[in-house]
């Protein structure tokens, strides 16, 4: 689907040197350079601000070197724009003055992630990007895992729904599972009713492409289960979204996309755990057989749900999948979902909110997120708000009437389907970059993916 960003990281002995310099080290660094280089850099007013760069020409007019600013030395994304900004060619990280100890790893990671471009529907071939030789001291395996995982997730989210309905999402999951020898199964259409997944069936039955539950397992060790919301397009159902809100609804399977990329990372790294991935894949469409506001639906768990809003469908399909997941008592259960606009209002597009009652999981996840430069923020499962989703005619309402605390009440809804003996982490993600930034081009994004990988590696790969 894309020009693979890992092609931007190469082994080469012939490359233009790139020198990375922190702002407070620039004067000392310049003191060791030739008068020509000092004059050139002074002439362009280069101050070594984070991400700023200057191309220095040699006597023959060709590029002799590139000098990259690190600012204070704490921005991991300073190389994130260079693959698209620098002239075509290959560059080598020749020196780092004032950067963090893990800068070589982040230089490679940000370079490759910044070189991503979704070109599946372009009539012209993808533009040629500048390449970087693998930096000395780089954690090459981690970079390859992280870039491959993010690229897969970005591609899936960026693909229009016409080419990414439940059948296509199933094929993508099959490809991931097959690449690592994972066992794969799927329950499709009316078989969901026979096998007792009534909510997945109800949400997806109005689509021309049958709903399904995708399920694959891999590895041995402590059980870790990932559940990803796979709503491949969300019209809002009979509570129809306006056009402005529907425009990005191809990304409503961003939880599933992030989970599949994370699963790929886990399997490529051969983490010592038994992985299970569950993706309820549906299209929330409008037709004569669509579920309605006011309907009362039964769940796999047996709880009855009054439909307060057909546009709160993600939590419905997750409910059946979570009920299935807890039946085998995993050591850790994680779900990811593009679940609520309320979370985006609270935290913005860059920072997924997460919910858990397990303090050690919360602490470890925040630590992993900081180390991975993949920010997340904890929100509370505030029990008194549970009454906001009470129902007069059923056990619970999927939306309730209150305009307040939408992300929290969604989390509390899901909590009804997770047993107390299972450690659980719920992540409400946006899965999208609204604008271009170094290393993070506009479009689909695997938010919290590196943070989760770091959490799992710390917990299970000791």
The catalytic position among 140, 241, 274, 437 is 241
DSSP string for residues in 193-253: HHTT-HHHHHHHTTSSS--EEEEEEE-SSSEEEEEE-EEEEE--TTSPPPHHHHTTGGGGG
Helix (H, G, I), strand (E, B) or coil at 298: strand
Bridge partners for 277 per DSSP: 216, 226
**CA nearest neighbour of 286 among 211, 205, 190:** 205
CB 173 within 8 A of CB 226: no
**CA nearest neighbour of 169 among 277, 330, 77:** 277
Question: What tokens appear for 259 in the block?
Answer: 């989970």
Question: What tokens appear for 381 in the block?
Answer: 């499962």
CB 321 within 8 A of CB 198: no
With 0-12 / 13-18 / 19 or more C-beta atoms within 10 angstroms meaning exposed / middle / buried, residue 264 is buried
CB atoms within 10 A of CB 282: 36
**CA nearest neighbour of 451 among 399, 339, 375:** 375
Question: What tokens appear for 330 in the block?
Answer: 């995993």
Distance CA 106, CA 100 (A): 9
The catalytic position among 315, 344, 450, 457 is 315
Helix (H, G, I), strand (E, B) or coil at 2: strand
- 241 an active-site residue? yes
**Pairing of the two strands 377-378 and 296-298:** unpaired
Bridge partners for 440 per DSSP: 437
CB 446 within 8 A of CB 153: yes
User: CB-based contacts of 217: which residues, under 8 Å, 6+ apart?
Assistant: 182, 183, 274, 275, 276, 277
CB atoms within 10 A of CB 371: 14
**CA nearest neighbour of 140 among 178, 170, 111:** 111
- 229 an active-site residue? no
Angle between helices 314-326 and 406-415 (to 10 degrees): 30
Question: What tokens appear for 445 in the block?
Answer: 């994004």
**Pairing of the two strands 396-397 and 377-378:** unpaired
Q: State the catalytic residues.
A: 241, 315
């Amino acid at each position: 689907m894309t020009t693979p960003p890992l092609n931007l990281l190469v082994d080469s002995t012939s490359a233009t040197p790139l020198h990375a310099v922190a702002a407070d080290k620039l004067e000392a660094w310049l003191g060791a350079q030739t008068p020509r280089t000092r004059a050139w850099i002074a002439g362009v007013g280069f101050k070594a601000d984070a991400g700023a760069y200057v191309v220095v020409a040699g006597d023959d007019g060709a590029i002799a070197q590139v000098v990259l600013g690190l600012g204070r030395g704490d921005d991991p994304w300073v190389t994130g724009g260079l693959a698209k900004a620098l002239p075509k060619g290959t560059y080598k990280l020749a020196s780092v003055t004032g950067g963090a100890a893990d800068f070589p790893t982040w230089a490679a990671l940000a370079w490759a992630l910044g070189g991503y471009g979704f070109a599946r529907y372009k009539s012209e071939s993808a533009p040629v990007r500048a390449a970087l030789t693998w930096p000395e001291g780089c954690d090459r395996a981690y970079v390859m895992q992280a870039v491959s995982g993010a690229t897969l997730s970005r591609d899936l989210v960026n693909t229009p729904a016409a080419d990414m309905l439940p059948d296509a999402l199933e094929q993508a999951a099959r490809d991931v599972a097959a690449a690592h020898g994972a066992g794969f199964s799927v329950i499709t259409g009316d078989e969901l009713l026979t096998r007792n997944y009534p909510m997945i069936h109800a949400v997806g039955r109005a689509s021309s492409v049958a709903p399904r539950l995708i399920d694959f397992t891999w590895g041995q060790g402590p059980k870790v289960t990932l559940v990803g919301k796979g709503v491949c397009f969300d019209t809002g159902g009979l509570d129809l979204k306006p056009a402005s809100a529907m425009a990005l609804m191809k990304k409503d399977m961003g939880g599933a996309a992030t989970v599949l990329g994370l699963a790929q990372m886990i399997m490529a790294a051969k983490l010592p755990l038994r992985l299970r991935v569950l993706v309820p894949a549906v299209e929330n469409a409008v037709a004569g057989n669509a579920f309605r506001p006011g309907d009362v639906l039964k769940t796999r768990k047996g709880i009855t749900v009054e439909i307060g809003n057909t546009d709160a469908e993600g939590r419905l399909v997750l409910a059946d999948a979570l009920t299935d997941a807890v039946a085998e008592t995993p050591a850790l259960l994680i779900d990811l979902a593009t679940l609520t606009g309320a979370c985006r209002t609270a935290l913005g597009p860059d920072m997924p909110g997460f919910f858990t009652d397990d303090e050690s999981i919360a602490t470890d996840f925040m630590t992993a997120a900081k180390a991975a430069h993949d920010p997340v923020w904890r929100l509370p499962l505030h029990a008194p708000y549970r009454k906001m989703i009470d129902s007069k005619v059923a056990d619970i309402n999927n939306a309730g009437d209150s305009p307040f605390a939408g992300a929290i009440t969604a989390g509390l809804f899901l909590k009804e389907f997770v047993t107390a003996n299972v450690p659980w982490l719920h992540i409400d993600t946006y899965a999208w970059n609204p604008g271009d930034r170094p290393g993070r081009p506009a479009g689909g994004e695997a938010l919290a993916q590196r943070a989760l990988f770091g959490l799992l590696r710390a917990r299970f790969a000791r």
